[in-house]
Chains A and B, each alone.
Chain A
């Protein structure tokens, strides 16, 4: 339809707009290495679909003269290279989203960089894409990067691939070259699960076969890139899949209305459907479906609605509704492919927040099965996972949750990992399966519990967690505190870093991963001792906040007392009771805390104890005073009666 004709009536416009309202949306991703012409291709699509306005074109001409790399021509890549820094470096640095539309479809393009951060950024762009355009430079053919891109696209569940053989003008529009590249791609291997792979010879710079058919490649009979993007059937597997509804928000304006708001992850729901809460197994029937301001009869995958149920059953944010006969697995352990996205490595034993659907739980990495090399697809054993690495990993969770495999459901089978200290998003996961191991070991309910044991010992159990640098005085102070508690008739036990490393933890070294495991075991032992009714004094350097937080989380409210023995490193070095600083300074000990391994001081410990210029007895008295104030031991120094517990 040509709207340059001003005579088009309002009715004609309205008809056109109404027709447009039914067009669908295709989200795709472009990937290629630095010089494959990715930004030029997107610029070309925007330019040819007339989404570049006159003022933007004028700005583009200005920018081309300043930053351009194609001489006097307009550099289409500058249309999409957004941020200042990357313009100067001539590369894109992050994920950007571009939009264009034809009469048939609206397109959302994720533009991701081709340099070293590619895995993280490409995975981000791929996570919401229906299709991926893999760019290959016709002169260079398939590169290591092409293998990576295909692998990541497949891992993220993209089912449709376009192999765009770009810069075909620079190989004289050669059919032989194009056929060769197409054959090489088919021979890549890698067990990809693509449903369609379409190869198209293009020149993004000159526009051949991008939006209009090239007159320079009569041998090519297939669609142009745009024709293919407009017509490729990416289906809607989600609607055909089992019904899943992660509850986002409980809608309760008054006593007469109680609804559960959320987006259908998959499947279909109708009024009268029987639904079950995955975790509790409680069931009810859908009596109303509210979509926007209206009641509707049904809703399908992707729609954001509010469901009203016949019965008042306990449902809150994070619950997943399904059909009674098609329920997701519920487990507190899962295996998943994980893409690591942070500079600090993923460590076994460390706990992270895991957000899946609308549910957030604590997840601890229990095992790394293997790493996957994204270039060769080879699997290799792994201790830790570094930035941009991918592995098959197992996590144990703080609570049982509803889980689907990613291959079956892209929404209820995907999760992100969040660092508990920095709050950064540090990883992305695709569930392989719920692990059954944990679900077969049920908690043994015991008649004699922590309260009963504590009462018979006539005390309030707690963990006094002493943290600080080597030589700060932790063990000295802990030892004095224990003696004093013992004199008052308390039942105590000291867990000392050095001593534990001679026994329980003698298999552990001083790498970051081993330090995390060291603390995890001690935290678990402390919990058992608290359960036994004891006052536990833990004297460990415990350099990382995350692990001290994990120990805190294992215990009940008020049971964990973090005591920061705050002695500056120069003072510790001066004291050097075991001669360790001298050795570390001489390079004889690696990974020594405070020297070549970090110490993360507590930000808000229950107690901070200064030692410089003070008697250890005085420091110990600080601790006892705190315990009295906190009500862990009686203020008058006498043993509690049972009522104090």
Chain B
């Protein structure tokens, strides 16, 4: 048994194979970079896959305008450090209409500034493949998603009509306008991700580590007051608490957890005793059990 590759090495090799396959088979691929831990691992794997060359595709960040400030500075540093091309896209109509999570709610905001924005960007640049950092263990409808997930010319996903995917043979054929979403981290779990970050010493946004931060308790979640666009409602008080984030997104929609885990081993220890799944910190998943599947059919990642 000692002859077998370890779990992490097997996952790493599989992901690199997928990333290279996309680069070799598609005319115009792009890597969706969302700044979070999964994106960071995916980017690290892409750097390895083509070393000593740079990845032969740009990164793209769909910026809703409501990301944590620390995410944006981390993004810019990372791109500069690695010498990569980054495309930033924000839905111009949504921006003009002033769409925001406070006034329009999480589902309208997510639909317009994330799902629609992503579709706009894919169409605008004519990308025929887009990497995403989604994992199958995140959520039930993701468990059935292919590694190469076909999207129609209108970017929709049909869960009942997916291409069979066998061995490590991925079907990269698409007609004009159609595209593939490629998920190199499909078989990783949250624990695998953290173990790999530890083993490879991959830089992370500081928000993952506990620190004193100003938060408000709202709808049962701790929301960080990241800038003055957040209006404090009557009865709410801003408190400084030692918190961290298990998942990152738009700050008004992302719940913090109270924690004093300020180092990677401390985070891992916390994870090993955790009793809630990571997506529970995301407002958008709470709507109902089938909400993610609906979003995905419409073109959400």
Q: Is the CB of A13 within 8 A of B160?
A: no
Within 8 A of B (CB), among A286-343: 290, 292-293, 300, 302-304, 306, 317, 341
A16, A83, A124, A235: the one contacting B166 at CB < 8 Å is A124
Whether a CB of chain B sits under 8 angstroms from the CB of A416 is yes
Known contacts A293-B51, A302-B10; A94/B162 CB under 8 A: yes
Cβ contacts B159-190/A at 8 Å (1 or 0 each): 11011111111010111001000000011010
Partner of B24, one of A4, A63, A248: A248
Residue pair A83, B164 in contact (C-beta under 8 Å): no
A-B contact count (CB 8 A): 204
Report if A257 contacts B (CB, 8 A): yes
Which of the residues B9, B167, B277 comes within 8 Å of A414, measured between beta carbons? B167
Is A84 part of the contact surface with B, judged by Cβ < 8 Å?
yes
Q: Please encode chain B, from 1 to 37, with 1 for each CB lying within 8 Å of some chain A CB and 0 for all others.
A: 1011111111111101100110110000000000000
B260: shortest Cβ distance to chain A, in Å?
11
Interface residues of A in 598-625 (CB under 8 A from B): none
Whether A304 lies near B20 (C-beta < 8 A) is: yes
Q: For A304, list chain B residues within 8 Å (CB).
A: 12-14, 16-17, 20, 49
Considering only residues 138-152 of chain B, those with a C-beta below 8 Å from chain A are: 140-141, 143-144
Q: Which of B95-103, B192-200, B226-234 contacts A (4 or more CB under 8 A)?
A: B192-200
Partner pick for A252 among B24, B53, B191, B290, CB 8 A cutoff: B53
| CB contact between B163 and one of A10, A101, A411, A424 (< 8 Å): that residue | A424
On whether A425 and B164 interact (CB within 8 A), knowing A14-B265, A302-B5, the answer reads yes
Least CB distance, A315 to chain B, in whole angstroms: 14
Do residues B277 and A418 form an inter-chain contact, with CB atoms below 8 A?
A: no
Identity of the chain A residue whose Cβ is nearest the Cβ of B189 in the assembled complex: A99
- Say whether A302 contacts B189, CB under 8 Å: no
Quick check: is B273 within 8 A (CB to CB) of the other chain? yes
- In the complex, are the beta carbons of B199 and A97 less than 8 A apart? no
Given A252-B53, A293-B51; A82-B272 close (CB under 8 Å): no
Which residue in B6, B16, B160, B164 is a CB contact (below 8 Å) of A21? B6
Q: With A13-B268, A97-B187 as given contacts, are A292 and B51 in contact (CB-CB < 8 Å)?
A: yes
Q: Are B195 and A20 in contact (CB under 8 A)?
A: yes
- A423 proximity list for chain B (CB < 8 A): 171, 173-175, 178
The distance in angstroms between the C-alpha atoms of A24 and B144, with both chains bound, is 23
**Knowing A53-B277, A248-B21 touch, does A261 contact B13 (C-beta < 8 A)?**
no
A23, A53, A98, A121 — most chain B CB neighbours (10 Å): A53
B271 nearest CB neighbor, chain A only: A3
- Is the CB–CB distance between A10 and B54 below 8 Å? no
Contact A21–B199 (Cβ < 8 Å):
yes
Would you list which residues of chain A between 1 and 60 have a CB under 8 Å from chain B?
Answer: 3-4, 6, 8, 10, 13-14, 16-17, 20-25, 53-56, 59
Is B280 located at the chain interface by the 8 A CB criterion? yes
Let me know if A96 is at the binding interface, CB within 8 A: yes
Q: Is B175's CB under 8 angstroms from A249's CB?
A: no
Query: Are the C-beta atoms of B54 and A253 separated by less than 8 Å?
Result: yes
Which chain A residues border B293 with CB–CB below 8 Å? 82-84
- Contact of B52 (CB < 8 Å), options: A13, A95, A124, A251: A251
B167 and A410 within 8 A (CB): yes
Closest Cβ of chain A: how far from B256's Cβ, in Å?
16
Q: How far is the CB of B217 from chain A (nearest CB, A)?
A: 18
Question: Is A428 a contact partner of B164 (Cβ separation < 8 A)?
Answer: yes
- Chain A contact residues: helix, strand, loop or mixed: mixed
Q: Known: A355-B169, A418-B173. Contact between A21 and B20, CB under 8 A?
A: no
| A56 / chain B contacts, CB cutoff of 8 Å | 277
* A248 pairs with B20, CB closer than 8 A: yes
Q: Which residues of B contact A10 (CB under 8 A)?
A: 263, 265-266, 269
- With CB as the reference atom, state the residue of chain B lying closest to A410: B167
Closest residue of chain B to A259, judged by CB? B52
Who on chain B is nearest to A12 by CB? B269
Within 8 A of B (CB), among A59-91: 59, 62-63, 80-85, 87
Which single residue of chain A is at the shortest CB-CB distance from B161?
Answer: A424
CB A566 to nearest CB in B, in angstroms, measures 22
Residues of A contacting B11 in the complex (Cβ-Cβ under 8 angstroms): 25
Q: Residue A128 at the B interface, CB < 8 A?
A: yes
A392 to B20 Cα, complex, angstroms:
32
23 CB-based A-B contacts, threshold 8 Å: A8-B269, A14-B265, A17-B198, A21-B195, A21-B199, A25-B5, A63-B289, A80-B143, A83-B140, A94-B159, A94-B162, A124-B166, A128-B166, A233-B1, A248-B20, A253-B53, A302-B10, A304-B14, A415-B169, A416-B167, A416-B171, A423-B173, A425-B163
Known pairs A249-B20, A302-B13 / 7 extra A-B pairs, C-beta < 8 Å? A3-B269, A20-B195, A25-B7, A84-B293, A300-B5, A303-B5, A356-B169
Interface residues of B (CB under 8 A from A): 1, 3-14, 16-17, 20-21, 23-24, 47-54, 136-137, 140-141, 143-144, 159-160, 162-169, 171, 173-175, 178, 186-187, 189, 191-192, 195, 198-199, 263, 265-266, 268-269, 272-277, 280, 289-290, 293
